[in-house]
Every structure is written in structure tokens, then in C-alpha cells.
Structure 1
Amino acid sequence: MVAACAGALLFSACGGTGSAAGGQSEGGEPVAGGVARVLQTGEPRNLDPASLSNTWAHQPVLGNALYGTLMINNLENFDLEYKMATGFSTTDGGATFTLTLQPGLKFTDGTPLDSAAVKFNWDRLRDPALGSTTIRQAVQIASSEVIDPTTLKVTMVAPNPHFGQSLVAGALNWIASPSALQKGQAAFDANPVGAGPFTLVEWVRQDKIELQKNPGYWDAPKPYLEGLTIKTVSDSNQRVNTIMTGGADLSSETNWASLNKVEAAGYPTEVVPTGGGQFVAMNFRRAPFDDERARRAIGLAVDLDAINTIVYNGEGVVPKTLFEESSPYYADIPLPTPNSEEAQKLFDALAAEGKPVSFTFLSYPTTESKTLAEGLQAQLSAFDNVEAKVEVVDFAVATARAGARDFDMIISSAVVQDPDFGLWTAFHGASPGNFVGINDPELSAALDAGRNAESVEERKVAYETVQRRLVELNPGLWYVRAVPSVTASKSLNGIDLYTLGSPLPEELWTTK
């Protein structure tokens, strides 16, 4: 099933017993009541939406539960579908947009969720001091103007007709009460005020987050559940075992082997097919990877199929090209393959110049990340004039270090649905999400061309240049296709995903 989903790149979403577009048990009527137990992979720093990430590998259920969504994208055709918003349109090729809202929306503190509240949230997300990953999207907005309580005019720094796909993928989609945010972080964490389907009961750090149904939710009779219990479990095997032993109802999943195990046991899964993937990023800003030869040597030295074996039991999909052949943007431009002899020549040449390759892999605390780092370290130990160290830190530290660009090597991603957001964000010279520090004029120009082109044919030409330059620049090792996904108990229904594996908790219901 997982391999088949990967082949459906860019056109559909598929899963075990349901579809990401419609959810499990589509023929049944939702039943009210019950509490769903949810596993997420990363503990939040705090409950400010600016600190949460709307991807399968972070806190999507929590953000959607507390703050609801302005809009989502349909994973079958990537059309925008509206929730608290009623429209997000442009008439000038993405130079400006008009956001319209449902009338009468209110936060749980009784204050209005209006266009002024959206403006407040979007303006603050541009502040680097927040350390929000959504700054990548927020800084594309030059300014916004409140037209009336339900209308906001948005002016972009540069035209981007595909900006809606970027908006749904981050905290721009989650609006919190301005008055509550202004009370400070401690007060907000004790009482995070949104307009989502659930409200906070209790957050016991490093243990659990208890949520209860919001009786004033705008889209009644949703949510169907009475509550959610969210726990952070960073280990994939533990998440799988918890689902299969009845200890959880919904779990984000990051591991191909774990998904196959759950699927084989007859449990529901939902997978969002994507292009691009996860890559081991090398920091262009400092030695040793400010020298392209060092990056190329690592790419030639590491056998990614062997990495796949130790990390995913051989069940992951190692990208051979940036896009799958089923994508309209596919080009036969192969990603680097191992050549140990050429790698050693490069390591020796750098050492002869007094620049032996020595670096530290900054690892997240997950089993996947640690195994990947140690596997890469073990492979490189067979070469002369290269030293790889591993430093394991928690999610908050890793996120902060990545944001500060304080790393030599780290896991990153450029996961592609519509190609603009993932690739422009990760690799454009002007993007704050460009963690590796690429600043290549030809690459940036091609990314701009792909963003602004009006036809698939024009975009294909632009993204062919993007693919070629990425291979030539070697920003990292593309070690696995990402697997934005969830697993579920057999009693959970209504699973509905958008963007990169983000479930809508208001749609969930249980037959327990």
C-alpha cells in the first residue's frame, strides 16, 4: 500500500481503509461522544500557535484542535476549501489577495475572530524573535489592511499565485486571541484562547495534553468527540505498539517500516503522497560544507540504500530523482549515487589543502534520526581524512539550533505537493526557510519562474533547471521520500488530512 501511495505523487491521497479526502468508514453516520487518544512525535515548546508546526512530524492535531483552520487544501486536486475563511482570492497574479471570513466568529474568551485578529496574528509571525517556522511563509506578506470585520486585503512582497498552499501548511492557518497573546507566554500556556473545536483542560509537560469539546464551536454539531488526550511519543516502534495494543486511537507516523507493520496487521492508515523528501542537510555557511567538494564527497561516500536498510529495514523509498515519474514536473536528472573511489580522492584533496572534513551531525531524539546519524557515521569511518561526530538533542534545542543555523549537518526536508512552497522555501536565496544557506542566482531565478509561470509547461521548464542545479550544488543527501501519514485504531472514524498529513480533529468520531 505504501509503495503504491508513493507512486500517486501529486494527484491523490491514499490509505489503508479510507482516503485522506473522505475519512474512514465513509458510509457511516458520525456518532457523538467519546475521547480519542492521540500520539504526536514532538513535544511543543509552548501553546502559542507560532511555536507549533502544521506537519505530520510535529503538532498538527494540537494546532487544529485549539485554533481551528481558516482553510485546507483538498489532497486530490489541491484546491483550497474554506473553513473559518470563506475565500482567499487574487485577481492580479498573486500580487495581492483578499481574505474573507465567516461572519460572527468568536474566540473562546468571547472576543471576535475578525480580520483585525487575523492581521495581528499574521503580523507577529514575521518577528524573528518568535522563532516560528512559519516565518518562512509570513515574510512573503508585505502588509495587510483591514477593510471591514470580515475582509482583509493582503499585499505580497512579490507575486505568488500559489500562496494559499503555503498558508495552509503553517501557523498562518491558526488564529489565536490577540488579547490572550498579549497577556504573556505563561498566561497563554495556562489558557490558550482560540476558536477551534477543543479547549485546554490541562497540559502536563512531557506527559499529556487534555482537551475538551468547545461547546461554542462555529461549525456545530462538530466536533463529535467530547475530548482528546494528546501524548508525545518520539519512538516510532512505541507508537506502533501503542496503536496495535489498543493504547491509542490516532498516531502521526514518520517511518515506512512502521506503516507497513500496522497495515499488515489490519489497522487503518492514511498516507499523503509527496515528491522531494527528507534530506541530510549540509550547512553552506561554514566549514567544512562551505566547500562544494566536501558536500560532493559526502554524497559519493554514503550508500543510501544501506542507510535505508538500517533505518527502515529496507522498506523506505530512497529518491532517485527529485520528482516521481508520475509527476508533471519529472525530469530524468538522477540524484547522486555512491562512488567510494571518487569520494576518497576528494577527501584526500581537501586534506592536502589543510581542510580535512570534520563535522557534527545534530540529531533529533527520535530513533529514526539517531539511527540515521550513527549509520552515516559508521559508513564514513571507512574513509580517511573525514571525521563524523553525532550530537543528540531534544526537539526544542534542535529546532532552535536549526533556526539559528547553528549546525554542520541536520535532518531537513523539502516535501513537495505543489512544488512552489517546498522548493522555494528550502532553496531560494531570499527564503528564511533556506536552512542550508544556498544562495545561487540561477537556482533562485528558476524558483521564481516556477512560482510565477501560468502553465504547467512553463513551470516544468523552470523546475527542470531547479532539479539540475540542486544536483550540482549538493545541499544534502536525499535519503527517503517523506511519508506524511497517520495510523489509527479500528474504532476511529472520520480521518481527514490536509497539507502534509495534518488531521482535522473536529471530523473524528469513535464507535467505542
Structure 2
Amino acid sequence: MSRGGRQTYAALSVLAAGALVLTGCSKGGSSASDNSKKDQQNAKAQQASIKFGDAADSTGPAAAVPGAKTGGTLEVLQRDSYAHLDPGQIYVSDEGSLATLIHRGLTGYKSTDNKGTGHEVVGDLATDSGTTTDGGKTWKYTLKDGVKFSDGTPITSADFRQTFERLFAPFINQGPTYLQQWLANTNGSDYRKLLPDGPYKGKHLPNSVLETPDAKTIIFHFKTPHPDLPYALAMAGYDVVSKKGDTKEKYDKNPVTSGPYKIQSFKSGKSMVLVKNTNWDPKTDPIRNQYVNQMNFTFNVQYEDSSKALLADTGADQTGVSFNNSVDAGNISQVLGGDAAVKARTVAGYQPYVGQININMKHSALQDKTVREAIAYALPITPIIRAFGGSSAAEVAGGFISPTVSGYDASFDPWGKKKNPGGDAAKA
């Protein structure tokens, strides 16, 4: 969440612009190897099993952020505008960052320490992370008292029925599909057959699939166990949509929000202004704080420009941040240099993603698996790492799983990229 106060903003200024992309970056004058060890230690903590929180864990308000102050305006420098604001259409990380500010769901992730390495799934709008008595085939959620949308309308189970049923409508085509497939008991896109038009022509999911017996209760019925439902419901794509305010396709540009902030204005590709949602009650929210009065987003700010602005740390940039921009390769050495003032505003760690190179399969030769294998062995990764800014900015990955993700295995290197980052021509 965003935080108020000059010092706290400054702590976010530089590498909040690149923290999600500068994997394994070093802090200040420390060596890259020293910080790599620290990042690996933090990664191991993040790999640990995530607890499903009970009612006590799910009670607000969220823990105070050390040093945070209320008030002020945050400048947010972003290269890319937001293509989707409708929760049902949100599936990518930049929109997910925004969703934390403006949307809420049945569950969410709560930080359990001030280092960003401890988390648990808790009830967000729900009283807990969910209860099941049959191994995950049936899940029950109860809404908290006093939860409202930004227009003051109480959030009820009818809103969640609308939220989940509209996911089957044809115009929802960008968000996650896990829940829909589980409800329809299918692994493919034919889940839409369960409710082809969503709720917009008077039809609804049967109570044998989704049950809302009263205004505060939501019950999911699956034919096979889904013990990971609390994780899925924490995704922005399953955040609540207002039944009263549902404008179908138009909702994507002007949604009714439920988080601590609401949208005052949005000019796609140009700017966005968020202001405090006065109908958000911190006593119901164990995840978020609401320090900053206003956030002014500017889009089309390129990586180099945001890096320079946040490094300069003058004027509006003193309370500036970028949620998703990377620190460009040309400024990494200055960010990671020995300047104490910059070091104080720098954070480091692995991102949850691993970059990959996709091959155009239309070429006839590439349809041969052995040819693709040869390319995988031969491809040199070292120049790619260099283009990102060197070893301080990125590391060679052996597989597709980030060190922060449960199941990561550092020894997994099927194509020899960690062993031979320059490529293995002989093997190819």
C-alpha cells in the first residue's frame, strides 16, 4: 500500500520503479554477491507455505506502517496506461498493482512482517479465508459487517453472485478462468456453456453450484476438491463488482470501487487521479492502509525518464514512485552506486516472474522439436543479461519458476543456461 510522509515516499522513490524487475539488484555500495545472498534468503522465506488465516487474522485495521504519516499527494510515473479496470478483466501485474488500491475480494494476502517476506491468505471482505469440511469440494464464506462500495451501497452476497456469474459472459475475456472452470467442472473454454450470457438475461448459476442463502453468505459447490480456492479468490480477477453499478463493457473504464481509494478521473493513455474512498472502513480491512490523500498518475513516462526523475528527487518527484516501470539499464550504475541518499531510497529483491524467449512456430524448421532443443542449448543468455544492466539487474534462470515461488529448485537447469550462460554450441 502507499504510504504518506516525506521520508516514506522517498523510501519508495527509486526502486519501487524497478523493484519488480531489477531481480537481485544490489543495495548502495554493497557487492552484487552479498546482496544475491540476501535476496536468496528472502526468497526462501517467501517460498514457505502460506497460512490460511482465521477470523482473528482477518480482522482490521491493518498494522500501521512504521514511520508512515497521513496526508499528501503521491506522484505515480507509469509507462503503460491501464487497459482494464473491471476486476473480471484484470490478469496482469500492472493492473493487479492498481487493483490493490481500488478493489477488494473475499480473500487477500496480508503481510505478516515489515520485510515483505511473510504473507498469509486472510479474509478480506469475508470474515476468514474460507471454511471447508469435505476437503475442498464445498467452501463457505461470510461477509463482514459494514463493508460498502465507494457509492455507499452495502456489499452483499448478491454482488458476489453478480461478480462470479458475469465472468461467464462473452465480454469478459481477459481475466483468470480458474473459478469458472471449477464451477463448470471442465478444464477448457467450454465453461461458458454453464451460463452463456452471464446474469444479463435472467438466468443464474444453480444453487448446486453457487449458493447465496442470505445477504452475507456465499457457498461454492465443486464436483471435485479445490483446496486452493482461497488462493484463487485472492486474485484481482475475482474482486467484487457492484450489481447495482454493473454497466457491462463500460464498467471497464469506470468501475464502482471497494478499496481505500476511488477513481476521481481516468483519461486512458494520459492520466488518472485516485482519491480517498470515504466509505472504506479500515476496521474491516486487515490488508490495506489509507495514508495518502491523493495519487496523480501520469502515463507514457518512459523508463529512462522515470529513473532520472526519481533519482533527481526534486519538486513533485520527492513524493514520486513508479509502480511498474523498470530502472533503465543506463541508470542502474547510479542507482546502485555509493550515494548514501540514493541507498536510503533503494529496495532490492527478486521479482516473482521469469523472462522467457518465445519462438515463432510458423517456420517449418521450428516445428521439429530437436531444432527447438538445439536453439535452446545454443542461445547465449549473457548478452540478454547485459542488456538489462548486468548481473546487478538480472540473473540467469534455469527454469520458469522464480526463486520467490514455492517449488523452486535452484538445481533445475534442463537447458544448461546456468552452467553455460554463453550457450553450448557443441551440445546444439
Same fold by TM-score, threshold 0.5 exceeded? yes
Q: Distance in 2 between matches of 1:328 and 1:46?
A: 31
Candidates 269, 293, 300, aligned match of 1:226: 293
C-alpha deviations, 1:130-170, integer Å up to 9, x for none? 22232245433443211322221113464232232233233
Shift of 1:336: 0.7
Q: Does 1:146 align with 2:182?
A: no
The yes-or-no answer on 1:339 pairing with 2:424 is yes
Q: Which residue of 2 aligns with 1:82?
A: 123
- Superposition deviation, residue 76 in structure 1: 3.8
Structure 2 residue 154 is the aligned partner of structure 1 residue 112: yes
Tell me how far 1:195 sits from its aligned partner: 1.6
TM-score (norm 2): 0.65
Is the contact between residue 135 and residue 225 of structure 2 (CA under 8 Å) also seen in structure 1?
A: yes
TM-score by length of 1: 0.55
Residue 64 (structure 1) aligned with residue 130 (structure 2) = no
Partner of 1:228, secondary structure, is: strand
Q: Measure how far apart 1:314 and its partner are.
A: 3.5
- The alignment partner of 2:412 has SS state of coil
Q: Describe how 1:131-210 pairs up with structure 2 within 5 A.
A: 131-136=173-178, 138-142=180-184, 143-156=209-222, 158-172=224-238, 174-181=239-246, 183-186=247-250, 188=251, 191-210=254-273
Greater fraction strand: 1
Cα–Cα, structure 1 residues 284 and 89, in superposed 2: closer, same or farther, change >3 Å?
A: farther
- Report the secondary structure of 1:11's partner residue: helix
- What is the CA distance between 1:303 and its match in structure 2? 0.7
Cα 1:327–1:53 shift into 2, 3 Å: closer
Distance 2:275 2:45 in 1: 35
Tell me whether 1:98 sits opposite 2:174 in the alignment: no
- Superposition deviation, residue 7 in structure 1: 4.4
Task: Find 1:320's aligned residue among 377, 385, 398.
Answer: 398
Question: Counterparts of 2:170 and 2:363 in 1: how far apart (Å)?
Answer: 22
Note closer, same or farther for the CA distance 1:123–1:261 as it changes in structure 2 (3 Å cut). farther
- Alpha-carbon separation, structure 1, partners of 2:427 and 2:98: 47
1:63 to partner: Cα distance = 1.7
**Contact 1:127–1:135 (8 Å) recurs in 2:** no
The residue that corresponds to 2:320 in the other structure is 249
Moved over 6 A (4+): 283-286, 325-328
- Work out whether residues 50 and 132 of structure 1, in 8 Å CA contact, stay in contact via their aligned partners in 2: yes
Distance 1:162 1:336 in 2: 31
Please tell me whether the aligned partners of residues 7 and 326 of structure 1 are also in contact (alpha carbons under 8 angstroms). Answer: no
Question: By how many angstroms is 1:262 displaced?
Answer: 3.8
Aligned counterpart, 1:300? 377
Task: Deviation per CA, 1:262-321: give whole Å up to 9, x if none.
Answer: 454225345564666222234779966543223213212311122111233343011135
Distance in 1, Cα, partners of 2:427 & 2:379: 12
Q: CA deviation at 1:214?
A: 1.2
User: Deviations for 1:420-463, whole angstroms, at most 9, x for unmatched residues?
Assistant: xxxxxxxxxxxxxxxxxxxxxxxxxxxxxxxxxxxxxxxxxxxx
Aligned with residue 9 of structure 1, among 34, 43, 56: 43
C-alpha contact 1:35 1:227 (8 A) present in aligned 2: yes
How far is 1:126 from its partner? 4.0
Query: Is the contact between residue 107 and residue 194 of structure 1 (CA under 8 Å) also seen in structure 2?
Result: yes
Q: Deviations over 1:163-209 (max 9, x none)?
A: 3223323321x21212222x3434x3564212221222211221110
Q: Are 2:216 and 1:216 equivalent residues in the alignment?
A: no
Distance in 2 (CA, whole Å) between partners of 1:228 and 1:292 is: 50
**Aligned in 2, Cα 1:51/1:230: closer, same or farther, shift over 3 Å?**
farther
Deviation per residue, 1:385-428 (Å, 9 max, x gap):
xxxxxxxxxxxxxxxxxxxxxxxxxxxxxxxxxxxxxxxxxxxx
Q: Go from structure 1 to structure 2 and tell me whether the alpha carbon gap of 1:263 and 1:70 turns closer, same or farther (over 3 Å shift).
A: farther
2:355 corresponding residue in structure 1: 278
SS in 2 for 1:211: strand
CA RMSD of aligned residues (A): 3.6
Query: Structure 1, residues 224-244: CA drift from partner, whole Å, max 9, x if none?
Result: 222111233563333322322
Bigger drift between 218-227 and 206-215 goes to 218-227
- CA shift, 1:48, in A, is 1.6
2:51 aligned partner: none
Specify the alignment match of 1:309 in structure 2: 386
SS at match of 2:134: coil
Give structure 1 stretches of 5+ with no counterpart. Answer: 14-22, 344-512
Give the conservation status (yes or no) of the 8 Å contact 1:90–1:98. Answer: yes
Which residue identity is paired with 2:236? G
Partner of 1:122: 164
Paired residues for 1:405-424 under 5 Å: none
Confirm or deny: 8 A CA contact 1:90 1:97 kept in the other structure: yes
Could you tell me which amino acid in structure 2 is paired with residue 64 of structure 1? T
Q: Are the counterparts in 1 of residues 157 and 212 from structure 2 also a CA contact under 8 Å?
A: yes
Conserved? CA contact 2:85–2:95, under 8 Å: no
Contact 1:115 1:150 in 2 (8 A): yes
Q: What CA deviation, in whole Å up to 9, does each residue of 1:370-396 have, x standing for no partner?
A: xxxxxxxxxxxxxxxxxxxxxxxxxxx
CA contact (8 A) 1:141 1:156 kept: yes
| Partner Cα distance (1:171, 1:70) in 2 | 11
- Cα pair distance change 1:331/1:6, threshold 3 Å: closer
Measured in 2, the distance between the counterparts of 1:25 and 1:269 equals 21
The 1:150/1:93 distance shift into structure 2, 3 A limit, reads same
- Say which structure, 1 or 2, has more relative contact order (CA 8 Å, 6+ apart): 2
1:38 corresponding residue in structure 2: 76
- The counterpart of 1:52, out of the listed 86, 90, 102, is 90
Q: What is residue 458 of structure 1 aligned with on the other side?
A: none
Q: Which residue of 1 aligns with 2:13?
A: none
SS for the counterpart of 1:86 is coil
Per the alignment, in what secondary structure is the counterpart of residue 216 of structure 1? coil
Distance change >3 Å, CA 314–CA 190, structure 1 → 2 = closer
* Cα-to-partner distance string for 1:321-344 (whole Å, 9 max, x where unaligned): 55659976537332313222454x
